[in-house]
Amino acid sequence: MPALSIAPYTTEEFEDFLSRRDEPTWLVERRRRAFEQFLQLDWPSRSHEEWIRTDIRMFHPERYSLPGATPPQPATGVPSGQMKLEAVAGRIVSVDSSAVSATLDSSLREQGVRFQSLSAGLDEAPDWLVEQLMTRAFDSSYDRFAALHAACWSGGALLHVPAGVRVELPFHLLSAITDGNVDFGHLFVRLEADAEATLVCETESLGGADGFHCGGVELLVGPRARLRFVTYQNWSRRTWHFAHQKACVDADGELEWTVGALGSRLAKVNQTVELEGRGARCRVNGTMFTEGRQHLAYHTLQHHRQSHGTSDFLYKTALQDESRTVWRGMIRVEPEAQRTDGYQRCDNLMLSRLARADSIPGLEIEADDVRCTHGSTTGTVDDEMLFYAMSRGFTRREAARMIVTGFFQHVFDRVSVPSVRDALARAIATRVRECD
Amino acid sequence: MTDTLTIRDLHVSVENKPILHGVNLEIRRGETHALMGPNGSGKSTLGLAIMGHPKYVVTSGQILLNDEDIVDWTPDQRARHGIFYAFQRPIAIPGVKMADFLRHATTNVRNPERREGEELVPMREFRKELKEKMGQLHMDLEFARRYVNDGFSGGEMKRAEILQLAMLQPKFAILDETDSGLDADAVRLASESIAKIGRDSMGLLIITHHDKLLEHNPPQFTHVMLGGRLVETGGPELAIELHRDGYERIRQKYPEADADNRAMEQVEAGI
Ligand SMILES: Nc1ncnc2c1ncn2[C@@H]1O[C@H](COP(=O)(O)OP(=O)(O)OP(=O)(O)O)[C@@H](O)[C@H]1O
Ligand SMILES: [Mg+2]
C-alpha cells in the first residue's frame, strides 16, 4: 500500500501512473495537459452553483489511489450484474478500471465492428479516434473531476460501428469495483452514418465495496444512426460516483438513453445531449431510487444547436428513508435551432417524510419558433390507493410496492430493451420497504 | 354453521366527527339486504368501516365475523377472510395493469396464509378464468391490459368492481351504488351477473338509490339509514315504498335522526 498523501494525486503519483502504462505520445501529452488543469482546479465546494446542494466534504480522495497503483486484490467475488441478457453481441467485464474479459461476435468483427477495452484499442488507434477522443464530447476543464478523469482514465470501452452496420443484439459492459479501489473507466462510442446498436452498461461493487468512480462517457451518434444506450448505476452505498456523460447526435440521428440510478453513496452526474444536426432526436428515460442516506444529483442539459431537433427527458424518482436527490434540468436552444421540440420533466415520489427532492427545471431559449415544455411534480403514495389495494387483499407493503412500480411504469413503457425494463422494475420493487 | 357478519352498536367517526351513532345489523351468508337512505346518512361510512378504512375510526361497538371481532384487523386481513366492498368511487392506480392487480389480489384472497413473495396463481389458469369471467360480463379483454380504473368511465369502473367481485368470490359483499353510472342495459347485465356470481353463497348488502338492482336481486331485508342510524328494517316491500314515496315518512317519524342527517348534509354541501 502506498502511503496516503494528504493532497491526493501528486505529480509523482501521476508520473508513476504514466510509467505503468505504455501509451502513445499523443495520449500521454493529452493526459499531461489534463493533469495540469487538475492541479490548477480546486475540488468543487458549495460555493459553486452546481454544488450548492451537494456536499462532498465527507469525500476523502486521498483514501483512493490512482488506477493500477495497488496490485489487483484477490477477487472478492465475480461481477455478475443484474441484466438478464440472453444473448449479447459482445461483453466486456472490468474490475477496478481494467478489463478482465472481452468478447465480440466474430461476424461483427468481420464487418468492422469494434468493441474492446479502450486501453486496448489505442495500440492501433485510427485517426478519427485520435482526433475525437475527449475533444468533442468531453470537457476536461469543466471541474476537477473532469480533469482528473481526462488525466487518469483507465480501462473502459470503445464501441465503434461502421456506416450502415446494424447490430441487433446488445453490447454489454459490466464494471465493478473492489473494496478501497477505483473505477476511472472511459467509454467512447461512435456510430457512423446509418449504423444501429444497443449498449447496456452496468456497474456494481463487489462485496459492498467502498470505492471511488470518476467516469466519463462520450457518445457520437452519426447521421441517421440509432443508438440505444443504458446506464444502470448500481454501485454500493459506500461508493462515490462522479461522472460527465455527453452525447452528440448528428442530423436525423436518434438516441434512446435509459438511466437507472440506484446505487452509490453520493452521485454527481452531468448528463448532456448535444443535438448537433438537423432533425436529431433524443429521448431520455430516467429512473432513480434512493434510500438510506444516499444523495444523488443529476444535472441534465438538452442542447439544441440545429433546427428540427426533438429532445424528451423524463425522470421519475422515488425516495425512501433520509435520502436526497437533486435534479437540475436545462433546455438550451441556440438561435439556429428553429422548430425545436424540447420536453423535460421530473416526478418525485416521497416514500418518507425525511427524504428530500429538489427539482430545478430551466429553459434558455434563443430561437423564436420552438416548442419547449418543462415541469416537475412531487407527491406521496396516496392513502386511498393503499386502502383500495389492501381492500383487495394486498398487504400494505405489497400495495406500496405495486403503487411505486406503477409510478415508474410510464418510464418503463418507454424503455425498448426488455431485459433492462425488467431489471429496473425488479430492482425498484425489491427496494420498496414501506411508506409513511 | 352459516357464516355471519354482525354489526353491533357501531359508532364511527371521521376526523373526530361522529358519523355513525350505534348501528346494529346481522347478515348471514345467502341473504340479500338492501341499505337505503338519503344522501349523507352514513351508508358508505358503514361500508368503509366494515372494510377497515383507517380514516373511518370505530369509537365503540363491534364488527363480528362469526363471533370474532375484526375491528383491529387490517383491510387485507378482512379481504382474505371473505369481506369485499365495491367502492362507490373506485380509486385509480396508474401504471398498474388490471390483470396484474387482479392476479395478485386473487392469489392473496384465495390463499389467506400466503406470505409476501410466494408464488402467484399460475398465469395460464388465471388467464383462463379471467377471460371467462370477463366474457360473462361482456367486457372486452383489452380492459385487463388497462391500468386500474385509470381513465375509466363511470360505468367501466363499476363493471370493473363487479369483475373483481366475480374473481374474489367473497363471503360477504357490500355493493355501494354499484348500479349508479351504468346505463339501463348495463344495470340489467350487472344485476344478472351478481345473481350468477353467487348471490346464494354470499351475504349481500346492496346500497342503492335505484330499483333495478333490487328487482333482480330481491332483498329479504331492507334497512333505512338516517342520520347515522338504522331507523327501520323491513322486507322487500319497504324498498319498493321508499323508491315510490321517498324518505318523507321516515324523516317525520324519526325527527332526531332527521335533524342529524340534515346537519351532516349541510356539512357535506359546505354550508
Ligand atoms: N372522508 C371523509 N371526510 C370527511 N367527511 C366524511 C368523509 N366520509 C364521509 N364523511 C361525512 O360523513 C357523512 C356520511 O357520508 P357517507 O358518504 O357515509 O353518506 P352516504 O349515505 O353514503 O351518502 P350518499 O348517498 O350520498 O353516497 C357525510 O356528512 C360525509 O360528509
Ligand atoms: Mg355513499
Q: What angle do CA A248, A254, A257 make, to 5 degrees?
A: 75
Residue B166 inside a domain? The answer is no
How far apart are alpha carbons A327 and A244 in whole angstroms? 15
Residue length of chain B = 271
* For A400, nearest residue in chain B (alpha carbons): B93
3-state secondary structure of A237: coil
Q: Is the CB of B42 under 6 A from ligand 1?
A: yes
* For A381, nearest residue in chain B (alpha carbons): B93
Per-residue pLDDT, A417: 93
What the block records as the C-alpha cell of B205 is 348488502
Per-residue pLDDT, A34: 98
Interface touch B95/A405, C-beta < 8 Å: yes
B265: pLDDT confidence band, cut at 50, 70 and 90?
A: confident
The pLDDT mean for chain A works out to: 94
Q: How far does Cα B103 stand from its chain's mean position?
A: 21
pLDDT in tens, A184-220: 999 999 999 999 999 999 999 998 889 999 999 999 9
- Give nearest CA residue, ligand 1 atom 18: B42
Q: How far does Cα B211 stand from its chain's mean position?
A: 17
Q: How far is the CA of B202 from the centre of ligand 2 (A)?
A: 21
pTM over 0.80, yes/no: yes
Per-residue pLDDT, A1: 41
Q: What is the secondary structure of A51-111 as a DSSP string?
A: GSS---TT--GGGSPPTTSSPPPPPSS----S---SS-SEEEEEETTEEEEEEE-HHHHHT
Interface touch B96/A383, C-beta < 8 Å: no
* Chain A: closest CA distance from residue B33 (Å): 21
Partners of residue B108 in chain A, C-beta under 8 Å: 392-395, 398
Contact yes or no for A212/A89 (Cβ under 8 A): no
Name residue, grid cell 478489463. Answer: A99
Mean of pLDDT values over A166-177: 97
Residue B148 inside a domain? The answer is no
Query: Which residue, A276, A288, A289, is CA-closest to A250?
Result: A276
A242: pLDDT strictly greater than 50: yes
Query: Which residue, A176, A220, A221, A228, is CA-closest to A200?
Result: A228
* For B83, nearest residue in chain A (alpha carbons): A391
Contact yes or no for B57/B14 (Cβ under 8 A): yes
Cα dist from A330 to A333, B15, B150, whole Å: 10, 44, 31
How far apart are alpha carbons B157 and B139 in whole angstroms? 12
Interface touch B79/A395, C-beta < 8 Å: no
DSSP state of A213: E
DSSP state of A252: T
CATH of residue B69: 3.40.50.300
pLDDT in tens, A35-55: 999 999 999 998 998 999 999
A5: pLDDT strictly greater than 50: no
How far apart are alpha carbons B148 and B163 in whole angstroms? 12
Mean of pLDDT values over B92-99: 96
Interface test with A, best of B104, B106, B165, B172 (most A CBs within 10 A): B104
B235: pLDDT strictly greater than 90: yes
How far apart are alpha carbons B56 and B14 in whole angstroms? 5
Residue B132 inside a domain? The answer is no
Partners of residue A392 in chain B, C-beta under 8 Å: 79, 101, 105, 108-109, 164, 168
Q: Which residues surround ligand 2, an ion (CB under 5 A)?
A: B 43-44, 88
Domain with B80 in it: 4-89+171-269
Per-residue pLDDT, A4: 43
B99: pLDDT confidence band, cut at 50, 70 and 90?
A: very high
Per-residue pLDDT, A241: 98
A246: pLDDT strictly greater than 60: yes
Per-residue pLDDT, B271: 54
Contact yes or no for B41/B228 (Cβ under 8 A): yes
Interface test with A, best of B83, B91, B106, B107 (most A CBs within 10 A): B91
Q: Is the CB of B37 under 6 A from ligand 1?
A: yes
Residue B194 inside a domain? The answer is yes
Contact yes or no for A371/A340 (Cβ under 8 A): yes
B268: pLDDT confidence band, cut at 50, 70 and 90?
A: low
Instruction: Write down the ipTM of this complex.
Output: 0.97
Residue B113 inside a domain? The answer is no
The structural domain count of chain B equals: 1
B206: pLDDT strictly greater than 70: yes
A316: pLDDT strictly greater than 60: yes
**A394, A397, A410: residue with CB nearest B104:** A394
Burial A252-287 (b: 16+ CB within 10 A, else e): bbbbbbbbbbbbbbbbbbbbbbbbbbbbbbbbbbbb
**B91, B95, B105: residue with CB nearest A393:** B105
DSSP state of A166: B
**A391, A407, A410: residue with CB nearest B85:** A391
Partners of residue A399 in chain B, C-beta under 8 Å: 76
pLDDT in tens, A89-141: 999 999 999 999 999 999 999 999 999 999 888 888 899 999 999 999 999 99
How far apart are alpha carbons A244 and A263 in whole angstroms? 17
Q: Is the CB of B43 under 6 A from ligand 1?
A: yes
Radius of gyration of chain A (CA): 21
Q: How far is the CA of B41 from the centre of ligand 2 (A)?
A: 8
A9: pLDDT strictly greater than 60: yes
Mean of pLDDT values over A328-339: 97
pLDDT in tens, A251-291: 999 999 999 999 999 999 999 999 999 999 999 999 999 99
Mean of pLDDT values over B193-219: 87
Per-residue pLDDT, B21: 96
| B265 CA: nearest ligand 1 atom | 29
Per-residue pLDDT, A35: 98
Interface of chain B toward chain A, CB-CB under 8 angstroms = 51-55, 74-76, 78-80, 84-85, 87, 90-96, 100-101, 104-105, 108-109, 116, 147, 164, 168
* Percentage of the residues of chain A whose pLDDT score is greater than 90: 89
Give me the helices (H) in chain B, please. Answer: 43-51, 75-80, 98-110, 123-136, 142-145, 154-168, 184-198, 212-216, 236-245, 248-253, 255-269
Interface touch A393/B164, C-beta < 8 Å: no
Contact yes or no for A105/A57 (Cβ under 8 A): no
Interface touch B95/A409, C-beta < 8 Å: yes
B197: pLDDT confidence band, cut at 50, 70 and 90?
A: confident
Q: Angle formed by the axes of helices A418-431 and A396-412, to 10°? A: 150
Contact yes or no for A306/A277 (Cβ under 8 A): yes
Per-residue pLDDT, B211: 80
* Chain B: closest CA distance from residue A350 (Å): 16
The pLDDT mean for chain B works out to: 93
Q: How far is the CA of B49 from the centre of ligand 2 (A)?
A: 12
Backbone φ and ψ of B19, nearest 5°: -115, -50
Partners of residue A397 in chain B, C-beta under 8 Å: 116
Residue B223 inside a domain? The answer is yes
Mean of pLDDT values over B100-121: 94
**A398, A403, A410: residue with CB nearest B93:** A403
- Give nearest CA residue, ligand 1 atom 24: B39
**B95, B147, B164: residue with CB nearest A392:** B164
Residue B109 inside a domain? The answer is no
How far apart are alpha carbons A30 and A408 in whole angstroms? 42
Mean of pLDDT values over A221-249: 97
Give me the helices (H) in B199-254, please. Answer: 212-216, 236-245, 248-253
Residue B236 inside a domain? The answer is yes
Residue with more model confidence, B261 or A74: B261
How far apart are alpha carbons B32 and B53 in whole angstroms? 23
Query: Which residue, A387, A312, A365, is CA-closest to A342?
Result: A312
* For B168, nearest residue in chain A (alpha carbons): A392
The backbone region for A373, taken as left when phi is positive above 0, alpha when psi lies in -120 to 50, beta otherwise, is: beta
